[in-house]
Amino acid sequence: MSDTPGHRSDQHHGHDPVRIGIVSISDRASSGVYADQGLPALQDWLGRALCNPIVFEQRLIPDEQAGISATLIELVDLGCSLVLTTGGTGPALRDVTPEATLAVAHKLMPGFGEQMRQIGLRFVPTAILSRQVAVVRDRSLIINLPGQPKAIAQTLEGLRDADGQSLVPGIFAAVPYCIDLIGGPYLVTRDTVCQAFRPKSALRGAATCPPAR
C-alpha cells in the first residue's frame, strides 16, 4: 500500500537532494482501524533535522514479512538513500519487521540496534524486548525504529539535559557519515536538532542551514 509516495519536503535547496523511504508497519493502521502516527512523526522529525531538500516515499503496510521485504527492496530500487521503518519490532507473533529487514540485507549494522536499546532503557525496562536492526542494501541504509512518535524522536535525536547538553547520543548522529561511506548524498543536519558527526577528513566545509520549522 502506498501513502502519498514522492512527497517533497520544503527544504533549503543549497544542499544535495535526498530521497528517503519512510514505512509504517501496522495491521490495524493499514486497515483503517486507527490513524497512523508513524509516518507523520518520521516526516516531521526529518524535516526539522535535515537541511537537504527531501523527497519522501511513504508506505503504510501490514505486518506481513514478505510484504515488508518487498517494500524495502522497492524503496531501495527507487533510489532511497535512507529507509526508516516504524513498528513491528517487539516479540509478539505478528512482529516480523526485523526478520523482513534482515532478509534483504547485504551488510549488518548492529551498532544502531545496540544504541537504540540503550536509549530506550533510559525510560522503560521493557526496551530490552525491542529487536530493532539496521542494515545496508546496495547504497541504502535501512533502520528499524520504535512504533511510538515520542520514542522515534528520542531514538533519532538522543537525550539532553536541561542545559541542552547531550546525555545519550541519538542514532541519527552517525547516519550522515554512514551514507557518505555507502555512496549516498552529503546530508547536513541542524545542530539544534541533531549534530551529525564526521571525521575531519570527511567534512566538506561550513554549511549554512535555515532554522527548523
116: enclosing H helix or E strand: helix 110-120
**Per-residue pLDDT band at 2 (split at 50, 70, 90):** very low
pLDDT tens, position by position, 125-146: 999 999 999 999 999 999 999 9
Model pLDDT, residue 16: 94
CATH tag, 7-202: 3.40.980.10
pTM of the model: 0.91
* pLDDT 10s digits, 18-75: 999 999 999 999 999 989 999 999 999 999 999 999 999 999 999 999 999 999 999 9
- Summarize pLDDT for 166-205 with one digit per residue, the tens: 788 899 999 999 999 999 999 999 988 999 999 999 998 7
pLDDT value for 3: 43
C-alpha triplet 89, 170, 106: angle, nearest 5°: 55
Q: What is the mean pLDDT of residues 95-123?
A: 96
**What burial class does residue 211 get, using C-beta atoms within 10 Å of its C-beta: 0-12 exposed, 13-18 middle, 19+ buried?**
exposed
Does residue 13 or residue 58 have the better pLDDT? 58
pLDDT tens-place string over residues 145-170: 998 999 999 999 998 878 777 788 89
State percent of the chain over pLDDT 70.
91
Phi-psi sector, 108: left (phi>0), alpha (psi -120 to 50), beta: beta
Q: Is residue 1 very low, low, confident or very high in pLDDT (cuts 50, 70, 90)?
A: very low
33: Cβ–Cβ under 8 A, 6 or more apart, which residues?
none
> Could you tell me where the beta strands, DSSP code E, fall in 36-163?
54-61, 82-86, 107-108, 134-137, 140-145, 158-160
Q: Strand, coil or helix: what is 76?
A: helix
Q: What is the mean pLDDT of the chain?
A: 91
> Which region among 14-18, 85-89, 110-114 has the lowest average model confidence (pLDDT)?
14-18
